């Protein structure tokens, strides 16, 4: 009789069980074959840009600047005078000291240049220095034109540096003596000064020497001063080029003729007061004129100014 167990199927033997080099696979208990794997993108965060006003550390706000306000579009003379006087009284030593130094420098340079130009003109004309009472018309014109150029260079340098200090004051900064000896927009100021000085010199020659109308020359000079009052302020504080300073300065004088006339009249009046005060008064009146003028300029152009 046949044994029923001999027909029972026997699974084939695992041949790798006896292989010493075989490494059995171990199931990963954390694998999750039922869900697809998703690649998670690392979010990119924008890197903030930090200004470097003095190498400030990132993340720290720079110290706030001076508080500025917009002056009224119709400036009052009393308010402007009080503002100018308060700014002068806040740093009298610095401002008056700078005015005194520039006064000495300008006077010395003008005297030297007038002597040099006069001697060169006389020697070039061949005129006898002992017998001549007046220069011929040709050498006189050359002398006036040379003096206009030399004076324009000197005055442009002084005004460029002086206005740099006034701009610092108008911006609410505490002025230092060095601020009044750093030129700002010197090239533009020089070009504007040369053009206006040459126009003034030519008008004076034509009216005084050619037409013999000396009285008219005075009025024309005042008219030119009125029309050119704002040009150097447009060049320095407004940072305009030569053409822009000439055009915008003239436009501002004509468009706002009333306030311009007030500033122009106060400039003449305060200058006369300073001269009558034994000239020493100019050390106070001239800074006062500059501060008054820049207050009016920022008011008329709606630019911010220190309160």
What are 64-86's pLDDT values in tens digits? 567 888 878 889 999 999 999 99
pLDDT of residue 285: 95
The 10s digit of each residue's pLDDT in 37-63 is 444 445 444 444 434 444 344 444 444
The DSSP call for residue 12 is: P
pLDDT for 112 beyond 90: no
Please tell me the distance from the alpha carbon of residue 307 to that of residue 205, in angstroms, as a whole number.
Answer: 45
pLDDT for 24 beyond 60: no
pLDDT of residue 49: 41
Please tell me the distance from the alpha carbon of residue 271 to that of residue 232, in angstroms, as a whole number.
Answer: 19
* Beta carbons of 105 and 158 less than 8 angstroms apart: yes
pLDDT for 130 beyond 90: no
Cβ neighbors of 174 (< 8 A, separation 6 or more) are: 90, 91
- Tokens, residue 211: 């037409």
Q: For CA atoms 78, 83, 87, 90, give the dihedral sign.
A: positive
pLDDT of residue 164: 97
Which of 286, 28, 41, 294 minimizes the C-alpha distance to 184? Answer: 294
Query: Among the listed ranges 133-147, 192-206, 245-259, which one has the minimum average pLDDT value?
Result: 133-147
What confidence tier does 126 reach under pLDDT thresholds 50, 70, 90? low
pLDDT for 256 beyond 80: yes
- Residues 7, 13, 16: CA angle, nearest 5 degrees: 175
Coil vs helix vs strand at 223: helix
pLDDT for 25 beyond 80: no
Helix, strand and coil percent figures for the chain, each rounded to 5 = 65, 0, 35
Please tell me the distance from the alpha carbon of residue 126 to that of residue 129, in angstroms, as a whole number.
Answer: 9
The 10s digit of each residue's pLDDT in 95-105 is 999 999 999 99
The 10s digit of each residue's pLDDT in 222-248 is 999 999 999 999 999 999 999 999 999
What confidence tier does 213 reach under pLDDT thresholds 50, 70, 90? confident
pLDDT for 154 beyond 80: yes
- Tell me which of 134 and 164 has the higher pLDDT: 164
Where do the domains of the chain lie?
A: 70-305
pLDDT for 10 beyond 60: no
pLDDT of residue 47: 46
């Amino acid at each position: 009789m046949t044994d029923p167990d001999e027909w029972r199927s026997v699974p084939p033997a695992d041949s790798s069980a006896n292989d010493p080099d075989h490494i059995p696979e171990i199931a990963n208990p954390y694998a999750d074959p039922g869900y697809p794997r998703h690649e998670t993108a690392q979010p990119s965060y924008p890197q903030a840009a930090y200004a470097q006003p003095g190498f400030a550390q990132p993340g720290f706000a720079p110290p706030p600047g001076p508080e500025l306000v917009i002056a009224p579009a119709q400036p009052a003379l009393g308010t402007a005078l009080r503002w100018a006087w308060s700014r002068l009284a806040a740093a009298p030593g610095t401002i008056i000291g700078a005015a005194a130094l520039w006064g000495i420098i300008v006077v010395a340079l003008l005297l030297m240049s007038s002597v040099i130009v006069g001697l060169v003109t006389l020697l070039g004309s061949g005129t006898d220095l002992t017998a001549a009472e007046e220069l011929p018309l040709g050498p006189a014109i050359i002398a006036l034109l040379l003096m206009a150029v030399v004076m324009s260079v000197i005055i442009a340098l002084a005004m460029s540096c002086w206005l740099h200090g006034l701009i610092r004051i108008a911006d609410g900064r505490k002025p230092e003596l060095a601020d009044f000896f750093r030129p700002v927009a010197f090239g533009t100021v020089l070009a504007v000064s040369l053009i206006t000085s040459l126009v003034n010199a030519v008008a004076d020659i034509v009216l005084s020497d050619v037409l013999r109308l000396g009285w008219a020359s005075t009025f024309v000079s005042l008219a030119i001063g009125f029309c050119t009052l704002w040009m150097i302020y447009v060049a320095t504080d407004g940072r305009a080029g030569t053409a822009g300073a000439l055009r915008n300065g003239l436009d501002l004088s004509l468009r706002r003729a009333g306030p311009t006339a007030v500033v122009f009249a106060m400039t003449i009046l305060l200058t006369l007061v300073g001269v009558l005060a034994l000239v020493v008064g100019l050390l106070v009146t001239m800074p006062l004129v500059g501060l008054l003028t820049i207050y009016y300029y920022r008011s008329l152009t709606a630019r911010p100014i220190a309160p």
